[in-house]
Structure 1
Amino acid sequence: MSTSERAGGDTVDYDVVVCGASLAGSAAAILLARRGARVALLERRSDPAAFKVLCTHSLTANAYPVLDELGLVPALEEAGAVRNHARWYTRWGWIEPRAAPQGPALPYGYNIRRSTLDPLLRSRAARTPGVDLLLGHQVTGLVREAGRTAGVRATTPAGEHELRARLVVGADGKDSAVARFAGTPTRRYENERFGYLAHFRGLPLPDGISHAWFLEPDMAYAFPNDDGVTVLTVLPDKKRLPAFREDLEGSFAAFVRALPDAPPIDAAKRVSKIIGLVDYPLLSRRPTAPGLALIGDAALTSDPLWGVGCGWALESAQWLTEAVAPALAGGGELDRSLLAYARTHRRRLSGHQFMAADFARARPFNPVQRLVFSAAARDTSVARHMHRFSQRLIGPARFLSPAALARASAVNLRHRGASVPPVPLSPAGR
């Protein structure tokens, strides 16, 4: 292992140690190494094909530029990833975004199982010059010097050792050990829904696209993925959890059968266990400290019902790289660059997290949401606007701008007096 000097004459093993080799960590390692950094990519699991099981398996369109920069788009298409166009059920009917006549196609990301995506991205990181993929490395502590993080301690089957670096990146998920060792402040928002998901093969969906059901307060979604596998998730109000658990398989199936235009699960084959998200709070952490940065779920864990975590994992890796790469190359002060990353992270994601935390209280739509969702079910331009927000291409301020609310109001005024479909009872009320 080569070493180099930094200011003060100390030696470092790497420019960056990235802890966690899933989406955020592998992407950050690749992007940083391409900009000249020497990167140690640590992964606690020893299997290079390991993957995250509990996931929506969805990459929203905001992540497409990162996938493109990583060179992954052709590989995803070849692997059978499904472009994630979607339709959403509401009490006013289905919201079905479509491209405008003579307009551009709707932007898209991909649905792809993590069992396909994680090994694909990790292997690409391992082949990137400047990246050392170190499997079987469990981070057990941080090296601290003069009030800043200067490396990590990691245990392996051969024992414990230190890896020193100018920057340590925590990409180790919502229960981040790096954040815990650093004493990073965490804000927790309770999630008043629980969730269960399962994978099905041979589950047809209209047009082969993603479906979501807003049942106020219950939720459900079905995401078609690679290899003909669909991820089906139910997210009921937590008040229903005790009864739901009494007969998990029966409750899951009954919930799905009760959905409007329900996917025919009785004709499909379930190819996984029913996996639970019984207590899944939303977490927000300060994303930087001297010598340290958090990305992906380690920095912000949102509500899984929106399927945004994978996209934000990739985006945060790109934001961090753009902020710190010049400083790592000797062109600036690292801690100032980390503050720039923190500002970008806060500006881009805090509004989304605020809205998600509010909706996680398992309440019916508020008046603004009723306005926008009802208009989107009635008007294709409002539906396209909602599509851009759902794919996280615009933020809350633009989604709920005065112009957008005025347009939604005008749509609803035109439909005043029109017949409204009866509101089906959610599975909670059947």
Structure 2
Amino acid sequence: MTKPENTGYDYDVVISGASLAGSAAATLLARRGVRVALLERHSAPETYKVLCTHSLQACAYPVLDELGLVADIEKSGAVHNQARWYTRWGWIEPRAAPTGPALPFGYNIRRSTLDPLIRSRAAETPGVDLLLGHQVTGLIEEGGRAVGVTASTPRGERRIRARLVVGADGKDSAVAKFAKVPVRESENTRFAYLAHFRNLPLPGGMSHTWFLEPDMAYAFVNDDGVTVVAVLPDKRRLPAFREDLEGSFLEFVRALPEAPPIDSAERTTKIIGTVNYPLLSREPTAPGVALIGDAALTGDPLWGVGCGWALETAKWLAEAVAPAAAGRGDLDRALELYARRHRRRLRGHQLLAADFAKARPFNPMEQLVFAAAARDAAMARHMYRFASRLIGPRRFLNPAALARAAAVNIRYHRIASRTARRPHKVA
């Protein structure tokens, strides 16, 4: 147990939620000299999130590296998340340039493997107290700001005072509600169901995503020979799915281009999902409060960004607030720095995702870029960097990229037109 200093606080920071965002933030803050109480409402240390894409995009790799988890993740059998994407113009298959560096990668790894791993890393970090069975029931407030939490525990209610309260408690964040942080909700007009399969071979052993306009699907190869298969149809198909979930799920997958051989695979889980998963956005800070992961921004599950953003926002918070949280700076100023970085890095991604969540076909600009990416290796790499959240929308749709996409498509159609006009030889 970390011994508190005589500051009037039990800890410098109290974090609600010991999943990816909370555990990463606790570890990174403690390494910077911050005393952290990491609260988890579940009592079992091996608790993990079930409904998830189980994918860490390449944007998360630097955080995993800083946490010292890369070797452990590799040892656990995690799969580098290379992918190919189906479109009406053909497959987009990102590959490294012949003379260039390898493509950056993240990992596909089941949360049953990842969550206990990252939580144990936090628990073993000096300066972190992992408090299981602690569910936040309210905020302690003084002078219009949060100065701690009240929590329900197996031994009764507990008050924990801290300079900063961090909500890492998911899209339905109790911390955000207690802090009265407004939420902006964008409707998601797709629903989602997924299941895990063993012995489900995919070409090249790599993950697949299908852009079916407006429906979506993906198959992500994971650790221990397990593949996560998800379908994300337009909600207009929901009544039929509800009549026969298993039959509708299997029929959907069988109809995919180059469909994975799902009938010969072993399904290892139930088919689970959600029929209402809106995209949520909150301001990432309030007086004495910071929100990370899904508590601040809940993305569309079809993009698989949640795990990566959970780790990135944890890192951004630790970098911004650590000195002030330890009593060596202006905490409000530090929180503003975190909020500005959060908005700058993620708001554009969320706006594009919210628009695409309307279950619509590709718009003209998307048609331009996706068609070019299916026809040109450089454009495929450009799209890969955006899909991995290594670049933002402005760089993705910058004038040079759009000009190249246009040139690629014009060249393709000229070649196709010349080929069509050539006389066919008669045998």
Normalised by the size of structure 1, how large is the TM-score?
0.96
Please, which of 266, 288, 291 is the counterpart of residue 288 of structure 2? 291
Q: Which amino acid aligns with 1:20?
A: G
Contact 2:139–2:178 (Cα < 8 Å) also in 1: yes
SS of corresponding position for 1:203: coil
The reply to whether residue 279 of structure 1 matches residue 276 of structure 2 is: yes
Q: Deviation per CA, 1:377-400, whole angstroms, max 9, x where unpaired?
A: 000000000000010000000000
Please, which of 29, 38, 43 is the counterpart of residue 41 of structure 1? 38
Q: Which amino acid aligns with 1:289?
A: A
Give the Cα separation in 1 of the matches to 2:149 and 2:203.
49
- Partner residue, 2:222: 225
Give the Cα separation in 1 of the matches to 2:416 and 2:16.
55
Please, which of 57, 73, 76 is the counterpart of residue 76 of structure 1? 73
The reply to whether residue 309 of structure 1 matches residue 306 of structure 2 is: yes
Contact 2:12–2:326 (Cα < 8 Å) also in 1: no
Give the Cα separation in 2 of the matches to 1:380 and 1:265.
30
- Partner residue, 1:193: 190
The reply to whether residue 264 of structure 1 matches residue 258 of structure 2 is: no
Give the Cα separation in 1 of the matches to 2:229 and 2:414.
36
Deviation for aligned residue 1:3: 2.8
Give the Cα separation in 1 of the matches to 2:77 and 2:290.
33
Give the Cα separation in 2 of the matches to 1:78 and 1:291.
39
- Partner residue, 1:53: 50
Please, which of 183, 199, 213 is the counterpart of residue 210 of structure 2? 213
Deviation for aligned residue 1:419: 5.1
The reply to whether residue 91 of structure 1 matches residue 92 of structure 2 is: no
Give the Cα separation in 2 of the matches to 1:126 and 1:295.
19
Q: Which amino acid aligns with 1:344?
A: R
SS of corresponding position for 1:227: helix
- Partner residue, 1:371: 368
Give the Cα separation in 2 of the matches to 1:367 and 1:331.
51
Give the Cα separation in 1 of the matches to 2:405 and 2:290.
40
Q: Which amino acid aligns with 1:204?
A: P
Contact 2:185–2:280 (Cα < 8 Å) also in 1: yes
Give the Cα separation in 2 of the matches to 1:203 and 1:97.
22
Q: Deviation per CA, 1:321-378, whole angstroms, max 9, x where unpaired?
A: 0000121234320011000000000000000000000000000000000000000000
- Partner residue, 2:341: 344
- Partner residue, 2:116: 119
- Partner residue, 1:427: none
The reply to whether residue 332 of structure 1 matches residue 333 of structure 2 is: no
Q: Deviation per CA, 1:100-148, whole angstroms, max 9, x where unpaired?
A: 0111001100000000000000011111100000000011000000000
Deviation for aligned residue 1:277: 1.6
Deviation for aligned residue 1:417: 4.6
- Partner residue, 1:428: none
Q: Deviation per CA, 1:246-266, whole angstroms, max 9, x where unpaired?
A: 000000000000000000000
SS of corresponding position for 1:415: helix
The reply to whether residue 174 of structure 1 matches residue 171 of structure 2 is: yes
Q: Which amino acid aligns with 1:86?
A: A
The reply to whether residue 144 of structure 1 matches residue 145 of structure 2 is: no
Q: Which amino acid aligns with 1:414?
A: R
Structure 2 unaligned residues grouped into runs of 5+: 418-427
Deviation for aligned residue 1:418: 5.1
SS of corresponding position for 2:332: helix
Structure 1 unaligned residues grouped into runs of 5+: 421-430
Q: Which amino acid aligns with 1:259?
A: L
Give the total of aligned pairs. Answer: 416
Give the Cα separation in 2 of the matches to 1:105 and 1:362.
33
Contact 2:13–2:37 (Cα < 8 Å) also in 1: yes
Give the Cα separation in 2 of the matches to 1:277 and 1:201.
23
Give the Cα separation in 1 of the matches to 2:118 and 2:328.
29
Q: How does 1:412-423 map to 2 (within 5 A)?
A: 412-417=409-414
- Partner residue, 1:108: 105
Deviation for aligned residue 1:5: 3.9
SS of corresponding position for 2:158: strand
Q: Which amino acid aligns with 2:307?
A: C
Give the Cα separation in 2 of the matches to 1:47 and 1:83.
29
Q: Which amino acid aligns with 2:5?
A: S
CA-based RMSD: 1.0
- Partner residue, 1:426: none
Q: Which amino acid aligns with 1:252?
A: F
- Partner residue, 1:3: 4
Give the Cα separation in 2 of the matches to 1:278 and 1:288.
29
Q: Which amino acid aligns with 2:299?
A: S
- Partner residue, 2:420: none
Q: Which amino acid aligns with 1:108?
A: F
